[in-house]
Homo-oligomer: A and B are copies of this chain.
């Protein structure tokens, strides 16, 4: 109203300009309005705009814990993409609690958020219902139900391939007995990694063990590292004497490295360790951690783009996108101590 008055036009004209409907607006009128906007330092009230249009200019991100380095890195990428589209990012910790997840989703909806990226332990149950209520959700790092057409978009790295990459790298170095380390809870992504690990080990003809730690709902950096450290005791005592270790993620690998060291084993001389996520800091551990990297920036860009497209066209069929992981070859994975000799 103030801008319109100052420019001597109606509020509709101002609104038209603001919303790009200025194709055939008088150049002089446009200039007057623009001057008024600048002079008044006017900024549109987004709440009112949202109320009217249903578009909030915000997207949601639900992560188990934002202090987990891997999710923090994802959040960074997502925020960067969102910022480039002039959108804000609402972040919430879900602690892998499905009920909380659910209520957070409801709440985002009531805030006018129409698009959300979710990292869910168990998969979103009522995706269809959410879609009906106008919420476009994309699941990160979880797969659709095999066989059925996906009910929502899934953007994930190929966890099975990631595990296979680790196994093959170790097998190439000569390891014949490997172990996969994970916390106790079976999230979808962990299950996929474990399956991939088993299959690749089978294909490579090596012995495979899966070791699960305590603490079902571990998602914080310290819990993860702690579990890794605790698991090292089971490694050194294991009858199969695994020499190639694959950790479900980098923080577990870091804990594992510390535990192994305390037990007097050195890496990579006595055991090889491969992590997953390729966090920046893994380049600086001792030894520098060999790890598996996901193309997070591209995944973030795709997720935001999919959300934008499905908001524009809700009929857009859901798809599953699978990204290929890559191995970051550093110092923690090398040849096993004495290949084959004491295991005929």
With A92-B79, A93-B76, A285-B285: A222-B280 Cβ-Cβ less than 8 Å? yes
Are B93 and A90 in contact, with the CB atoms below 8 A?
Answer: no
Contact with B along A38-60 (1 / 0, CB 8 A): 00000111111011000011100
Interface size range on A against B:
35 or more
Nearest chain B CB to A49 CB, angstrom units: 9
CB distance from A270 to the nearest CB of B (A): 15
Other-chain contact of A45, B110, B229, B280 (Cβ < 8 Å): B110
For residue A233, CB closer than 8 A to chain B, the reply is no
Stretch in A66-74, A207-215, A234-242, A311-319 with 4+ CB within 8 Å of B = A66-74
Residues of B within 8 A of A44 (CB): 110
Query: Which residues on B sit within 8 Å (CB–CB) of A257?
Result: 284, 286
Stretch among A19-27, A101-109, A158-166 lining the B interface: A101-109
- For the complex, give the distance between the alpha carbons of A88 and B280 in Å: 29
A91 CA to B82 CA, complexed, in Å: 11
CA distance A66 to B69 in the complex (A): 10
**Complex partner residue of A67 from B72, B254, B258, CB under 8 angstroms:** B72
A83 within 8 A of B: yes
Taking the complex as formed, is A221 at the interface, i.e. its CB lies under 8 A from any CB of chain B?
Answer: yes
The smallest beta-carbon distance between A230 and chain B, in angstroms, is: 12
User: Which residue from chain B places its CB closest to the CB of A70 in the assembled complex?
Assistant: B67
**Other-chain residue from B58, B93, B109, B261 in contact with A111 (beta carbon distance below 8 A):** B58
A107 touches B92 (CB 8 A): no
Contact of A89 among B46, B91, B288 (CB under 8 A): B91
Q: Separation in Å of the A1 CB from the closest CB of chain B?
A: 15
Select the residue from A57, A68, A83, A109 with max chain B CB neighbours within 10 A. Answer: A83
The residue in chain B whose Cβ has the minimal distance to the Cβ of A108 is B88
State whether the Cβ of A255 lies closer than 8 Å to any Cβ in chain B.
Answer: yes
Contact present for B66 and A75 (CB under 8 Å) = yes
| CB pair A280 B220 closer than 8 Å | yes
Closest Cβ neighbor of A79 among chain B residues: B93
The answer to whether A80 has its CB under 8 Å from any CB of chain B is yes
- Report the bound CA distance from A58 to B281 in whole Å: 32
Query: Within 8 Å of chain B (Cβ to Cβ): is A336?
Result: no
- Asked if A112 meets B47 with Cβ closer than 8 Å, knowing A221-B281, A285-B285, the reply is yes
Contact of B112 with A251 in the complex, beta carbons under 8 Å: no
Determine whether A65 belongs to the interface, using a CB cutoff of 8 Å to chain B.
Answer: yes
- Taking a contact as CB atoms under 8 Å apart, the answer to whether A90 and B92 are in contact is no
15 A-B pairs in the complex with CB atoms less than 8 angstroms apart: A44-B110, A46-B110, A47-B47, A48-B51, A57-B111, A66-B66, A66-B75, A79-B93, A89-B90, A90-B90, A222-B283, A225-B283, A229-B284, A258-B288, A261-B286
Q: Given A43-B110, A58-B111, A88-B108, list of 14 further CB < 8 A pairs?
A: A45-B110, A47-B50, A47-B111, A51-B51, A68-B72, A69-B72, A69-B281, A76-B93, A79-B91, A89-B92, A254-B284, A258-B285, A258-B288, A285-B286
A interface residues (Cβ-Cβ under 8 A, vs B):
43-48, 50-51, 56-58, 65-69, 72-73, 75-76, 79-80, 83, 86, 88-93, 106-112, 220-222, 225, 229, 251, 254-255, 257-258, 261, 279-281, 283-286, 288
